[in-house]
């Protein structure tokens, strides 16, 4: 079978710039889907006060911030980052800021950046490529959004649609339920 993305019969080959564009799309969709979920939670008083849901949302953010720091070549202070946000609005702001940093980095990334190897004791197996890290961010978030949707339904809420293929039609930007500070340009990668 021929891989339609690369024109090759080797399924492991992808044209690098197309991989970069796909990762940009996945990260942008991830921000949109996370913002929509957080907005739905914010509109449901019982969900806002659900400790299990709050812990799950913080866990997703923690993972996003770990991978972002890794990609940027920054240290990750597990103890500091592990402290939950003081409110849902503060959590939403951190999601928005983190997403903006991801998008800013990706806007200047190259194929070579995607191939760079990240190494950390916190990465299963100790290492992975930046491309794998970005896929992990999106897939991890996707899986936990499904869990959050179940918890939101438990409180009578309606989870937002988050299908990637539907997002592609118009590529809407995330609509954060609270103001997110102006785009922060990440520091140069070490």
Helix/strand/coil for 144: helix
The per-residue pLDDT for 138 is 97
Q: Kindly report the three-state secondary structure assignment for every residue of 20-78.
A: HHHHHHHHHHHHHHHHHHHHHHHCCHHHHCCHHHHHHHHHHHHHHHHHHHHHHCCCCCH
The per-residue pLDDT for 9 is 55
pLDDT at 42 over 50: yes
pTM: 0.86
Pairing of strands 117-119, 127-129: antiparallel
Beta-carbon contacts of 12 under 8 Å, excluding residues fewer than 6 positions away, are: none
Beta-carbon contacts of 162 under 8 Å, excluding residues fewer than 6 positions away, are: 32, 33, 36, 37, 142, 145
C-alpha distance across the termini of the chain, in Å: 40
Quickly tell me which residue has 């990334």 as its tokens: 109
The per-residue pLDDT for 181 is 63
Cross-strand bridge partners of residue 129: 117
Average pLDDT, the chain: 89
pLDDT at 156 over 70: yes
Where do the structural domains in the chain lie, given as residue ranges? 16-170
pLDDT digits (tens, 9 = 90+) for 90-115: 999 999 999 999 999 999 999 999 99
Which of 13-17, 101-105, 119-123 has the least mean pLDDT?
13-17
Cβ atoms 39, 175 nearer than 8 A: yes
Quickly tell me which residue has 């590529």 as its tokens: 171
pLDDT at 56 over 90: yes
The per-residue pLDDT for 5 is 45
Higher pLDDT, 11 or 80: 80
Cβ atoms 58, 145 nearer than 8 A: no
Look up the CATH architecture of domain 16-170: Up-down Bundle (1.20)
């Amino acid at each position: 079978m021929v891989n339609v993305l690369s024109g090759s019969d080797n399924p492991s080959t992808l044209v690098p710039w197309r991989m970069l564009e796909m990762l940009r799309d996945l990260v942008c969709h991830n921000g949109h889907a996370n913002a929509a979920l957080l907005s739905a939670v914010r509109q449901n008083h019982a969900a806002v006060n659900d400790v299990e849901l709050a812990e799950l949302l913080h866990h997703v953010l923690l993972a996003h911030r770990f991978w972002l720091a890794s990609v940027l070549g920054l240290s990750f202070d597990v103890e500091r980052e592990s402290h939950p946000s003081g409110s849902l609005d503060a959590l939403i702001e951190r999601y928005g800021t983190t997403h903006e940093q991801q998008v800013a980095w990706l806007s200047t990334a190259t194929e070579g950046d995607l191939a760079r190897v990240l190494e950390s004791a916190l990465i299963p197996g100790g290492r992975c490529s930046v491309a794998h890290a970005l896929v992990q961010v999106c897939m991890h978030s996707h899986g936990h959004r499904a869990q959050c949707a179940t918890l939101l339904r438990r409180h009578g809420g309606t989870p937002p649609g988050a299908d990637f293929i539907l997002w592609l039609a118009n590529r809407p930007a995330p609509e954060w339920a609270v103001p997110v500070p102006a785009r922060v340009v990440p520091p140069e990668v070490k």
